[in-house]
Structures are given as structure tokens and as C-alpha cells.
């Protein structure tokens, strides 16, 4: 089965609408909803508050802890996870519910249980599904930061990791093939690109307007040279016909020809300007494309870096968890198996010195070596086995002797060099 999951960001003004949809309040326009089965729906997050109140309360807590929340801030992500009808029939109600509970556990682990404000399984429609809502809090600093906690890289991470998580719980689920939403990391760069697009679009409109005017004025009204030639005749000859015109009309024709000459000059100037604007547009468009390419390349680098950091963070978490488990086991062994509940400062210092010697760490000079030896000698009579202490003291003595011999050798070589 492919993972069926989609997510949508919401501002505070959107939350009540999501609540109406989830709780089947108001007018029901979806014909697939069977209200007689609505009582079968299951809420995994127990609370006496409405969805809006839960989100409002959580956002207020974040404000008090230093989060900056504006009117247009993204305060909630609404998610829908669906099981196909055929799969739900094969699984049965119990396993289908376990699937949704496992999805809920995954989101609690990724975003913090305190931030998952609602998770409701709907069984009153054709396909069973779960509405899950969480407040996007940055786990690193505990602040409301949707762009950090739910960016494109995080969405792709969920598409990859949620199926693996479900597989570990015994569900045969694979990554869905649907496309993920494209996000822009830097909103300032995004605005600059949009402003540039708007500028280019405006210049295109102005160019088109000027081109229309050029088309209107391109055709000469009258050939002024021919009009001047005919002004010496009593009439105007057109082909084999001679046309007589009144003097008043002839003067108007001359005036029109002069006006036409002016228009042709304007047309020439506009054509020149149009050519320059086209060149400017081409340069501007190339600059815009370079900016877009650079931002996409930079975004890709950041996306890859983020994925690497998430992977590294996950590995460090696993290592830390393993180390914590080891320490718990060691403490349990000391208390319950060896009945050791306390030790002196001398024993602590001596054990640290012995641990260094076991790992091949040696004192760097005579003074430090003597301090280490004194530390081990003071630990005689503690819980440390005496033979281990004595071996450590002997080893330090040997190291001190080697350091002294090395110093004497260096002094001797220096003196011989000075004599030469």
C-alpha cells in the first residue's frame, strides 16, 4: 500500500473551519458522510477544549515563552492520512485503528506530543482516514516557526521516514508517488523575484501599447513629394485621369501632408525607442533568469545540507540514546550486583587516571606524572583493586623516568651543539 498523506498550512482564521469539518458541525455538503456512523469516530487526543481553543491556548503559551506571532502567522498544519477501502476491509477495524495510532505516534515523535493538538479517526465516510493537526514549533529553540519546522525538506523527510516507521510496526506501506509542494526558503529573495517579474510584465504592456500606436501611424497619409509636384498643376493626375480640386481642399491636403511628415518622424523616434526597450527587456530578462537559476541552485544546496544535517542529527540521537542506556546498565550493575552506592573523591580521581592509562594516554611532563602518581597513592584502601592501583603507579613511575631521560638527553645535545 502506498502512503496516502497530505498536509496544509493554516492561519488562526482557518482553524475554526477545520474544526467544523472535523467535528461535523454546521451544514454537511459531503454526500459521502453518513451521520449515523459519526459516533464511531475516534479522537486520540483527549481534551475538553475545542480544536480552536487548543490551538489558541498552545499559541498563547508560545507567545509567553518568546515566540513572535503575527496575524498572518502559520499556527497549525492540518494533515489527512487515508487507508483505501479495500485495504481497510482486509485489515479490519482493529488493525486499521492501529495504523492511524502509529501515524499519530510518528507525528508526536517528530513535532512533540504537546504540539499535536488533535488526531481524529473518521469512520463515517467511504474510506477511513484521520485528521491530524499540529502546531509547527521549532524543536531547536521551542518557538513557533513554520518555515523551519515544516519546510520542503521536512515534507520529503516525512514521505520517506513515515513508511519506514510504519513498516517497523508491521504495516506493508511504501512511499507515495505524489509530488511534494515546492517551497521557497528565503521570502525576501522570493519577493525580489516577484517584483522583478512585475516590472518586466509592466514594461511588456507599455511596449505593446507603443507598438499598437506605431501600427496606426506607420502607413503614410499622403506622399508629400508628389503633392508638391502637383501643386504646380491646375489639377491632380491619377493614372490616366485628371481630377480638379478646389483650392480650399488643396490647402487642406497640403496641411495633412505636413502633419503626415511629423507623424512619420514620431514613428521613427518611437521605433527607435521600441528597439532600445526591447534590448533593455532582453537584458532584464536575462538578469531575472540568472537570479532564478542562482536561487534554485542555492536552494538545492541548502536542501541537501539540511537532509545531511537531519541524518547526522538522527545518528547522534541514536548514539546518545545508546550511551544513556549503557550508563543506566552500569549504574544498575554497581548498585544491585556489586552493592556500590557511593565512592570518595579520591577514588573518583584515581579511576579517571587509571582510565586514561588504559586508553594509552600518558602525562605530558614530570609534574603531571607526579600528580597522577600521588592521586593513585591516595586511593589506596578504596574500592579499587590494590593490584590495579599498584600497576598504575608503577607505569606512571616508568613514564616519569622516560620523560626525565628524554630531558637530560635534550640538554646534553644542546650543550654539545654550543661547544661546536
pLDDT of 418 above 70: yes
- Among 163-177, 288-302, 334-348, which is the least confidently predicted range? 334-348
Q: What is the mean pLDDT of residues 366-373?
A: 94
Give the pLDDT confidence score for residue 181 in this predicted structure.
36
Give the pLDDT confidence score for residue 199 in this predicted structure.
66
Sheet holding 129-134: strands in order across?
5-11, 74-82, 129-134, 116-122, 42-43
d(CA 37, CA 301): 49
Give the pLDDT confidence score for residue 239 in this predicted structure.
55
d(CA 165, CA 171): 9
d(CA 329, CA 335): 10
Give the pLDDT confidence score for residue 182 in this predicted structure.
37
Question: pLDDT (tens digit, 9 = 90+) per residue, 234-283?
Answer: 455 555 566 666 777 777 778 888 888 888 888 888 888 888 888 888 88
Q: What is the mean pLDDT of residues 101-111?
A: 95
d(CA 2, CA 159): 10
Give the pLDDT confidence score for residue 193 in this predicted structure.
54
Question: pLDDT (tens digit, 9 = 90+) per residue, 60-82?
Answer: 999 888 888 888 899 999 999 99
Give the pLDDT confidence score for residue 405 in this predicted structure.
93
Whole-number percent of the chain with pLDDT over 90: 43
Instruction: Tell me the HSE value of 66 on the side-chain side, using a 13 A CA sphere.
Output: 4
Give the pLDDT confidence score for residue 68 in this predicted structure.
87
C-alpha cell at 96: 486499521
Mean pLDDT, the chain, whole residue set? 84
Name beta bridge partners: 116.
Answer: 134
Helix (H/G/I), strand (E/B), else coil: 381: coil
- pTM greater than 0.75: no
Is 210 exposed, middle or buried (CB count within 10 Å of its CB: 0-12, 13-18, 19+)?
Answer: middle
pLDDT of 138 above 60: yes
Contact predicate 58/148, CB 8 Å: no
d(CA 7, CA 10): 10
Give the pLDDT confidence score for residue 237 in this predicted structure.
53
d(CA 237, CA 313): 94
Is residue 215 very low, low, confident or very high in pLDDT (cuts 50, 70, 90)? low
Interhelix angle 247-332/152-168, rounded to 10 degrees, is 40
Highest mean pLDDT among 156-165, 270-279, 296-305, 340-349: 156-165
pLDDT of 321 above 60: yes
Is residue 194 very low, low, confident or very high in pLDDT (cuts 50, 70, 90)? very low
Give the pLDDT confidence score for residue 265 in this predicted structure.
84
d(CA 164, CA 159): 9
Is residue 208 very low, low, confident or very high in pLDDT (cuts 50, 70, 90)? confident
What Rg, from alpha-carbon coordinates, does the chain have?
Answer: 42
- Among 242-256, 311-325, 397-411, which is the least confidently predicted range? 242-256
Give the pLDDT confidence score for residue 70 in this predicted structure.
87
- DSSP letters for 175-226: ---PPPPP--S-HHHHHHHHHHHHHHHHHHHHHHHHHHHHHHHHS-SS-HHH
| Residue recorded with cell 586514561 | 356
Give the pLDDT confidence score for residue 244 in this predicted structure.
67
Q: What is the mean pLDDT of residues 318-345?
A: 83
Question: pLDDT (tens digit, 9 = 90+) per residue, 140-186?
Answer: 888 999 999 999 999 999 999 999 999 999 999 999 875 433 333 33
Is 364 exposed, middle or buried (CB count within 10 Å of its CB: 0-12, 13-18, 19+)?
Answer: exposed
- Using the Cα atoms of residue 41, residue 44, residue 47 and residue 51 in order, give the sign of their dihedral: negative
Amino acid at each position: 500500500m502506498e502512503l496516502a498523506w497530505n498536509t496544509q498550512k493554516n492561519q488562526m482564521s482557518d482553524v475554526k473551519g477545520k474544526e467544523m469539518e472535523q467535528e461535523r458541525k454546521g451544514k454537511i455538503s459531503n454526500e459521502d458522510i453518513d451521520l449515523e456512523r459519526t459516533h464511531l469516530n475516534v479522537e486520540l487526543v483527549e481534551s475538553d477544549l475545542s480544536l480552536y481553543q487548543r490551538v489558541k491556548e498552545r499559541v498563547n503559551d508560545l507567545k509567553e515563552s518568546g515566540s513572535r506571532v503575527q496575524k498572518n502567522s502559520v499556527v497549525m498544519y492540518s494533515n489527512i492520512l487515508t487507508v483505501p477501502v479495500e485495504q481497510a476491509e482486509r485489515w479490519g477495524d482493529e488493525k486499521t485503528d492501529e495504523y492511524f495510532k502509529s501515524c499519530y505516534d510518528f507525528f508526536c515523535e517528530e513535532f512533540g506530543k504537546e504540539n499535536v493538538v488533535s488526531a481524529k479517526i473518521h469512520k463515517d465516510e467511504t474510506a477511513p482516514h484521520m485528521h491530524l493537526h499540529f502546531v509547527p514549533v521549532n524543536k531547536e529553540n521551542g518557538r513557533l516557526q513554520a518555515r523551519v519546522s515544516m519546510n520542503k525538506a521536512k515534507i520529503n523527510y516525512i514521505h520517506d521516514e513515515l513508511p519506514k516507521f510504519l513498516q517497523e510496526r508491521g504495516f506493508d506501506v511504501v512511499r507515495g508517488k505524489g509530488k511534494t509542494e515546492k517551497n521557497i526558503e528565503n521570502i525576501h529573495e522570493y519577493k525580489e523575484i516577484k517584483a522583478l517579474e512585475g516590472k518586466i510584465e509592466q514594461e511588456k504592456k507599455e511596449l505593446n501599447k507603443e507598438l499598437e500606436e506605431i501600427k496606426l501611424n506607420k502607413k503614410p497619409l499622403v506622399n508629400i513629394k508628389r503633392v508638391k509636384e502637383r501643386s504646380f498643376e491646375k489639377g491632380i493626375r491619377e493614372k490616366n485621369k485628371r481630377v480638379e480640386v478646389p483650392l480650399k481642399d488643396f490647402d487642406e491636403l497640403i496641411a495633412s501632408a505636413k502633419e503626415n511628415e511629423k507623424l512619420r518622424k514620431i514613428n521613427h523616434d518611437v521605433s527607435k525607442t521600441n528597439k532600445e526597450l526591447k534590448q533593455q527587456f532582453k537584458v532584464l530578462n536575462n538578469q531575472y533568469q540568472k537570479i532564478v537559476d542562482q536561487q534554485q541552485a542555492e536552494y538545492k544546496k541548502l536542501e541537501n545540507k539540511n537532509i545531511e544535517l537531519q541524518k547526522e542529527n538522527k545518528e547522534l540521537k541514536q548514539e546518545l540514546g545508546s550511551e544513556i542506556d549503557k550508563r543506566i546498565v552500569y549504574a544498575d550493575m554497581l548498585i544491585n550486583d556489586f552493592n556500590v552506592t557511593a565512592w570518595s573523591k579520591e577514588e573518583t580521581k584515581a579511576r579517571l587516571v587509571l582510565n586514561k592509562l588504559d586508553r594509552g594516554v600518558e602525562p605530558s611532563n614530570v609534574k603531571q606524572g607526579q600528580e597522577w602518581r600521588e592521586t593513585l597513592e591516595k586511593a589506596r584502601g578504596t574500592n579499587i583493586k590494590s593490584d590495579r592501583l599498584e600497576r598504575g603507579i608503577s607505569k606512571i613511575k616508568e613514564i616519569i623516568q622516560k620523560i626525565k631521560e628524554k630531558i637530560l638527553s635534550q640538554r646534553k645535545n644542546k650543550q654539545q651543539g654550543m661547544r661546536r
